[in-house]
Structure 1
Amino acid sequence: MSRVLYAILLVVGIGLMIMPLSVPVFKSTAEYSVLNTDWNGVSSFGKLLYSKGEIVPVLTTYDSAGLGEKKGSLIIVGPNLDFTDEEIAELREFLENGNTLILADDFGTGNQILESLGLEQRFGRGELITPIYSKNHHYPITAEIMDENLGKNVEKIVMYNPSIILNPQNALVYTPNSSIFKNSYGAFAVVDKVEYGSGEIILISDPDIFTNSLFRENEEFIKNLLDYVSGPFFIDEAHHRDFNPYSSGTITIRRAVNKELIFYYILFVAGIAFVIETGIWLKVLEKILGLLFRFFKEEKESLEEIIKSLENEGFNKELLLKIISEIESGSKLGGRYGR
């Protein structure tokens, strides 16, 4: 076999292992979508999720996705579509099996989930005013983080027109003490942890902390939040009313070189070359054919020995040969031979 053919085998095989892949890029203009790269999307948060572990976008209803049987954390950011009774049942099963729900909402449909699960917590409906803010009063700031793990390396949390959490069970983050919500004055919970079955729900009263526009300011807090829960991460895209994924081109993915796999492939090609060039395959073929011929020869000799033995016992040799001939030809013996 030509050396050129061996070279082609090597080049083509290794090329397929390391060849870059071109895959389509999908985007969306929906607010709080992980596919939205604009200021109001959460694509930066999606990249962080990917770096932390497996991320699975949920693009259909929970019952269609079989959410109740999954393991990990479900993340719902800014939902604005209603949840069906079947979805609530799947979510309940998901939580009772020891999983986590992160629900970030302010004025969307998050309260429907809380009410359907029989919880007393609610996202408040009203304007929150705090004495400390970033650009203007629409961007309140807080550093009142009760959990030291959530507060690690976090200087502040920047929000945008947040709500508050009513009837908190275990508040993890508060607003500054001199905040105002409707006719109430004081510190209000903006992050709360609620136990549910064997699982837990983390409520966040401002989905905007995950958006690309505020991601840099809140990145350390979000990292700590993800360390607080476990993956894989299921991120809800099904409850964004304007979710409209579209292709925006392709990206090229370069695959890492698997040196061990390449080594075994080269070894495989070398083995083929050795077997062919040394003529071993011919010897093996000759051996197989020899065994086959020997088998058929032995079968023929044993048949002749049987006829000879029967002839010695008084049977007619010609009759025996005729019987064998008719058996081999597939015909049946007539009455003159006893059938």
Structure 2
Amino acid sequence: MHALPLIHPRRWRRPTPSVYLWPPTTPPNGNLAQGRPATASSAVQSYAAGNAVDGNASTYWESSGNSFPQTLTVDLGEAKRIGKVTLKLPPSSDWATRTENLAVLGSTDNSAWSTLLGSSGVTFNPASGNTATLTLDAADVRYVRLNITANTGWAAGQISEFEVYAADGGPTTPPTTTPPPPTTPPAGTNLARGKSATDTSHTQGYLAGNVTDGDAGSYWESNNSSFPQSLTVDLGATQTVGRLVLKLPASWGTRTQTLSVLGSTDNAAWSTVKASAAYTFTEGSNTVTVTLPASGVRHLRLTFAGNTGWPAGQLSELEAYTS
């Protein structure tokens, strides 16, 4: 925990991690980011990325300390024409004035990024409700990212609400064009690599995003002694999935986890792709392959019901392949 200075930038309260269900429509307040999947380059304790899109300015995301740059990314679900971002920190009774240096980036595919607003100092002042509004050049994007390089109030990136709004109050969806034909990923492509991941819970900094970062040494871990727990990956588009490769860090001791695999095309209606079964991760490789009946899904969910090695769901990599 951080040591308390005389004027501390936050009160000692830890928000309870929440499970977010993402509606397909824009919230009544026009904030396109509210309730959408959010990911971050890092997070400390339970101050997870999802706190920045929950509609509650008292909960917040905070990155790991003393390490910049840090990013916070929201997936709007589909390309939207945006023109404004409103950023908030907790109420003035809790937090003192600070300036964060940040840029706003946009992407249609979570891979190629363009700068919507160059890096500059954004001041959060209690006198103005610790709120800052940034006007952007109108752009059609699905993913919106904050790239934070400094913070005068704390040695980390901090945001309590990341709100995104349509350009000039106009339509939120770009004009309809004929989309290019879908492409089939090359054989052997891990469809889950770099994709957005969420969970029902996590402990400390062991976040869902660790299972799609390509690093088997980082991992997700749920809250202890509370099953079932779920881990969900959004593949970005409906894909044919016929095989999963699940990993834990190679040096971990052998353990058996009981889990099922579910699939969805809309993150609302779910079907069981593979019934619950016990899978043994053996020390040295700690890799399990799960063969699935080939099916078209966009969202993949693992639901954990038990673990002989630790009283929590644990996974370092979730890889998805067509066959």
Question: TM-score, structure 2 length as denominator?
Answer: 0.22
Max radius of gyration: which structure? Answer: 1
| Bigger RCO of structures 1 and 2 (CA < 8 A, at least 6 apart) | 1
Between structures 1 and 2, the one with greater helix share: 1
